[in-house]
Structure 1
Amino acid sequence: METFASFRVGGQRVYGMVHLPEPDLSGIAKPAHGFPGVVILHGYTGNRGGDHRLLPLLSRYLSDRGIASLRFDFRGSGESEGDFSEMTVSREVKDATAAFAYFKDLPEIDPERVMLLGFSMGGLVAALASPTLRPHRLALWAPALPELWLKMLPGGFVPPAIFDQGGWPVGREFLLEMPRLNPLKTAEQYQGEARVFHGDADTSVPIEMGVKYAEALGCDVIAIPGGTHTFESLESTEVLYRVTGEFLLGK
């Protein structure tokens, strides 16, 4: 079952989609304490749909295997309120925290088995939020590090207001904050089960960044053969879904 989700953060409306397993269709019995579930964080300039429907199809894949999920648009992205120029990583951590609380409180969800999955910059956000949210499991897809965005600074200088990046209005605060973030050190504080999934053909976020996250978390990194940053082949996507599902199910 798929239903629209809506909650407020800082006076602005955030929109998303909740996916719940359907026992009558899947043959999976509803657990007595509710379904395990995962909150999914999209990447920079992305939305809850993802490239080539990557995130909706993930939610449906997981639902067929008994895992609920919440996909949502960060404020300033997708259909949520706010402007992209207001976006910062800290602001997205607040959005992720509100989404986690919203999802955890749903009557169909087991509050003790709420997990977190972050893709690309969403992985950076998930790593920063994980010690506070303490998800049951933490999955990072191609997690990015702050230095990727430091290259955006023209001549090493922060623009006075808005930086036009291909039609995206990037705010000054986003760029000023990046050097202050330390997701690897923060990730070391997370004490739960974690795993990193990274395409071995990713040229946007090098797999070495995924390895650094795995080292900080003390977990394995799973290399997806032929996987680009957005896993642009049916084969790499199939492998990604399978190994992610197995991890979230504790296999």
Structure 2
Amino acid sequence: MTNTLSDAVLDFIEVGEGASVRKIAVRSRAGAGPGLFWLGGFKSDMQGTKAVALDNWASEHGRASVRFDYSGHGESGGDFADGTIGRWLEDSVAVFERFCDGPQVLIGSSMGGWMALLLAREIRKRQEGQLAQEGQLAKASLAGLVLIAPAPDFTEELMWKKFPREVKREIETSGMWLRPSEYGDGSPYPITRNLIEEGRNHLVLGSAIDLGCPVRILQGAQDPDVPWQHAFALTHRLPADDVVLTMIQDGDHRLSRPQDIARIVAAVAEIG
């Protein structure tokens, strides 16, 4: 009998200190490795089509699975407007550290692709002893990365550099711009000066990205939010060995159609 989504355990952990403490919602399921670790997109949550489909696949195949909501997203606490790349990376590291053991496939969608690269880099640093730290993170390892319409450096390359002068001026003077949205309930959402400026501390496309594990990238050629050229720029920063970019000619940014989900699952299964 196929397991159901209710088998995934909902938990909350506290991340941060002082005024920045927030509760992070996590859904995890025990199982065999390599485990699946889901990293969602900007303004997305762990109840999205791709995240749920992957969790169901993990359930059907007896695989461990972890997904969570960044602070200010979904079921987690915190204000979205307080979010930065560094803050969400801190959430990601904390969840990984607490819930993962053994080899893991990091699966990152859109902004989650950037998060996956940053988290993978952090894991490697700790494993190599560059950051001496005890705990679960040292026991978990990277089996590989599956990146879906990955958006590394998006705050700089896809936002700031493309914003009209008047939008930049509003962000600089008022500290925030409300960006219209075609996703979710359609409500505009804040792009803060802090998001843009703090994001510059985490840019990865300016140099080589050596992760020491297989990488699979799926990119829609019709993606209006993350152009396919962005995925190409990323592949040029990754080692040539065991990096595969799949271009889906009629694919959009979501890549949530049944055929897209099948491709994502196949990429995860190949690494596993």
Q: Do the structures match in fold with TM over 0.5? A: yes
Distance apart, 1:3 and its partner CA: 0.9
**Aligned residue in 2 for 1:107:** none
* Corresponding residue to 2:179 among 165, 183, 186: 165
**Aligned residue in 1 for 2:61:** 65
> What's the secondary structure of 2:205's corresponding residue?
helix
- 1:7 paired to 2:31: no
CA deviation vs aligned residue, 1:99-139 (integer Å, no higher than 9, x gap): 110112xxxxxx23123111101111211221112323122
**Aligned residue in 2 for 1:128:** 118
With over 3 angstroms needed to count, the CA separation of the structure-2 counterparts of 1:225 and 1:236, relative to structure 1, is farther
TM-score (normalizing by structure 2): 0.76
- 1:226 paired to 2:235: no
Contact preservation (8 Å) 2:42, 2:110? yes
Matched residues in 2 for 1:187 and 1:58: separation? 29
- 1:238 paired to 2:262: yes
Structure 2 stretches lacking a partner, 5+ long:
1-6, 125-141, 181-187
- 1:142 paired to 2:149: yes
How large is the RMSD of aligned CA atoms in angstroms? 2.1
**Aligned residue in 2 for 1:17:** 27
TM-score (normalizing by structure 1): 0.82
User: Size of the alignment, in residue pairs?
Assistant: 228
With over 3 angstroms needed to count, the CA separation of the structure-2 counterparts of 1:209 and 1:81, relative to structure 1, is same
CA deviation vs aligned residue, 1:47-92 (integer Å, no higher than 9, x gap): 1122xx2211111113322322111110011110100111111111
- 1:75 paired to 2:71: yes
Q: Alignment identity in percent?
A: 26
> What's the secondary structure of 1:183's corresponding residue?
coil
Give matches, 1:80-229, under 5 Å.
Answer: 80-104=76-100, 111-134=101-124, 135-144=142-151, 145-146=153-154, 147-150=157-160, 151-152=162-163, 154-155=165-166, 156-157=168-169, 158-159=171-172, 160-166=174-180, 167-185=188-206, 188-218=209-239, 219-229=243-253
Q: Which portions of structure 1, spanning 4 or more consecutive aligned residues, are displaced by more than 6 angstroms? A: none
Matched residues in 2 for 1:72 and 1:171: separation? 23
Structure 1 stretches lacking a partner, 5+ long:
22-33, 105-110
Distance apart, 1:191 and its partner CA: 1.9
> What's the secondary structure of 1:205's corresponding residue?
coil
